[in-house]
Structure 1
Amino acid sequence: MPTPPEAKSPAPAVTRAAAILSLIAQEGRPLGLADIARRLDLAKSSTLNLCIALEQTGLLTRTELGYGLGRATVELGGAYVRGFDLIREFYRVCAASPVLQHELLQIAILDGTSVLYLARHEGRAPLRLSATVGDRFPATVTAVGAALLAEIDPAEVAARFADPSTLPSWTAHSTHTVEGLLAKLADTRDRGYAVDEGETNAGVYGVAVVLPPRRSGDEPLALGASLMKPSATPEYVRTVVAALREAKEQLTSPSLVVD
């Protein structure tokens, strides 16, 4: 992780504290004080003070393995997700669909060059290698990412992904060039839905549609399904896409808008 851009921050201590939380979240495990300080290029003494303050607020917890995320982060994350009205309806719609109730479904939002997963319906056979709530995946290799990026002007997409590091190759099928990404997004727009043909996981076939904002100022979300490749026959993919579109209509119905 790069050093926090303190020179541009109006509150460097807050920036450093946020960097500590982000680092531990990305690692997915507790980290020792020395490791945190080294990874963020911070003085060990100031890192200790920040960790103590974060522990006092419940944002960090200290264990014998080091500092991990505290319960307050769960409360904050839950409050953020509750701000999306349709996520509360997502689980009901999934359970009521004869097709989707059996599949692994996710809702994600675009965040820079990544997608952040906000909700997940397990279905009948959960995929352990697929993203779960709170995970970030590169937008370029996911169906939900392609669905959301296809809504953006191609020139902006090219600028956003000009840095090669934003185009990682997770499998041999991953889109890893700007030219390839723009071509994939053009196909997505023509097709009306996005696909992930083994780009995230070689054994998984993903499809996704965009959930347009229900209120002015809201950001679009994407609804995706992750299928095991052997079951992803052309006929079944069409069935799942039709079910996703039906779910989209239910989730974006004006009658569900909450003022």
Structure 2
Amino acid sequence: MTSTKHVASSDKSPAPAVSRAIKLLDLLGRHGGTPLTLGEIAASIDAAKSSTLNILQVLEDGGMVARVQGGYKLGRRNLELGGAYLSGFSQMREFYNFCSVASLLSHEVVQVAMLVDTDVVYLARHEGRAPMRFIATIGSRFPAAPTAVGNALLTTLSDDEVARRFSGPQHFPLMTENSVRNLPDLLRKISSARERGYAIDDNEVHPGIYGVARVLPPWSSGDQPLAIGTSLAAASATPAYVSQIVDELGAAVSHLSNPLFHSVASPPTDFKHPEVPPHVGI
């Protein structure tokens, strides 16, 4: 659901009742299955009880809202509309769409990868405005230990499973002098990534390249998680810029995640989502 912060205020909207209806549905969505009373809803959307009741009645007639003991909650029609939306949603196509209009990621190399044992395989790549030819291309296979996308994906495994997979020195290739070299150091990196919510590669794969990656949850219960990451010139990877990149990757994860299966943490309140056109060519 769209945040109420992104909905035009009703006094400036060309259709105030529609704007209030959107805010109302978003409010009920954020409260999950907990019913809200008429008074609570009216106060939250800054509307009179009489006009709020009129909106609720129309939404109830359309199956968008259900009246239950204790107030109102979302109706079953929302699930039907969500299914219709998802049936036409292509995660990889939307990855390219998002990256093409994102204020920062549009300029950077951005990739999607999956974990295969102790390696990552790259599935998609947005070139950015200054392509890095030595960065992995689609279909390339890289060791997971030194890469940001690999470390992000390893956060989804238990430490015991990581230890089982990375039991030998062959899983720690020395790609640069910064590359992680052993299991204890890898586990510390993974622990730090879990705590901060994203993984980094500080010149571990290529000198002068700083990687940042976040987990992209599985689309459905039968899928495996992916990771979305970007490769920055290390000279430009200041703490402030990396923080902005992390926020934009978070917005990408939110946009690309299946809302029927996952609740993704929202980006900061001052973060502006890029307007993603419906079908930008890949």
TM range (shorter): 0.5 to 0.7
Q: Contact conserved, 1:214 with 1:254, CA < 8 A, in 2?
A: no
Alignment partner, residue 121 of structure 2:
116
> Does the alignment pair 1:210 with 2:225?
no
Answer whether contact 1:86 1:251 (CA < 8 A) is retained.
yes
Shift of 1:253: 4.0
Listed as ranges, the gaps of 5+ residues in structure 1 are 1-83
SS in 2 for 1:254: coil
Aligned counterparts of 2:246 and 2:138: Cα–Cα separation in 1: 22
Q: Which residue of 1 aligns with 2:144?
A: 139
TM-score (ref. length: structure 1): 0.65
Q: C-alpha separation between the residues in 2 aligned to 1:96 and 1:219?
A: 27
SS of 2:187's partner is helix
The residue identity in structure 2 corresponding to 1:215 is S
Code of the aligned partner of 1:237? V
Shift of 1:121: 0.2
The residue that corresponds to 1:101 in the other structure is: 106
For residues 100 and 256 of structure 1, what CA distance do their matches in structure 2 show? Answer: 26
Name the aligned partner's letter for residue 165 of structure 2: R
SS in 2 for 1:140: coil
Structure 2 distance, partners of 1:247, 1:86, is 11
1:92 corresponds to 2:110: no
Corresponding position: 1:168 with 2:185: no
Tell me the CA shift for residue 255 of structure 1: 7.2
Tell me, in whole angstroms, the C-alpha distance in 2 between the residues paired with 1:85 and 1:253. Answer: 11
8 Å CA contact 2:99, 2:126 repeated in 1: yes
Name the residue aligned to 1:150.
155
Question: Which residue is 2:249 aligned to?
Answer: 244
Give 1:183's aligned amino acid: R
* Bigger helix share: 1
**Aligned residue identity for 1:150:** T
Q: Secondary structure at the match of 2:145?
A: helix
Distance across 2 between alignment mates of 1:136 and 1:98: 29
Q: Is the 8 A contact 1:211 1:222 kept in 2?
A: yes
Counterpart selection for 1:130 from 135, 147, 151 = 135
What is the RMSD computed on CA atoms of the aligned residues? Answer: 1.6
Whole-angstrom CA distance in 1 between matches of 2:133 and 2:92: 22
Flag structure 2 segments of 5+ consecutive residues without an equivalent: 1-88, 263-282
Aligned to 1:187: 192
Alignment correspondent of 2:259:
254
**Distance verdict in 2 for CA 1:226–1:85, change over 3 Å:** same
**Following the alignment from structure 1 to structure 2, what is the Cα–Cα distance between the partners of residues 158 and 143?**
18
Identity of aligned residues (%): 50
C-alpha distance after superposition, 1:81-138 (max 9, x if no partner): xxx9411211001012111111100000000110000000000101111111010000
Please tell me the residue identity of whatever aligns with 1:118: L
CA distance in 1, matches of 2:173, 2:100: 34
Which has the greater radius of gyration? 2
The CA distance in 2 between the partners of 1:122 and 1:134, in whole Å, is 15
Runs of 4+ off more than 4 Å: none
Find out whether 1:196 has 2:213 as its counterpart: no
User: In the alignment, is residue 225 of structure 1 matched against residue 230 of structure 2?
Assistant: yes
Residue identity matched to 1:205: Y
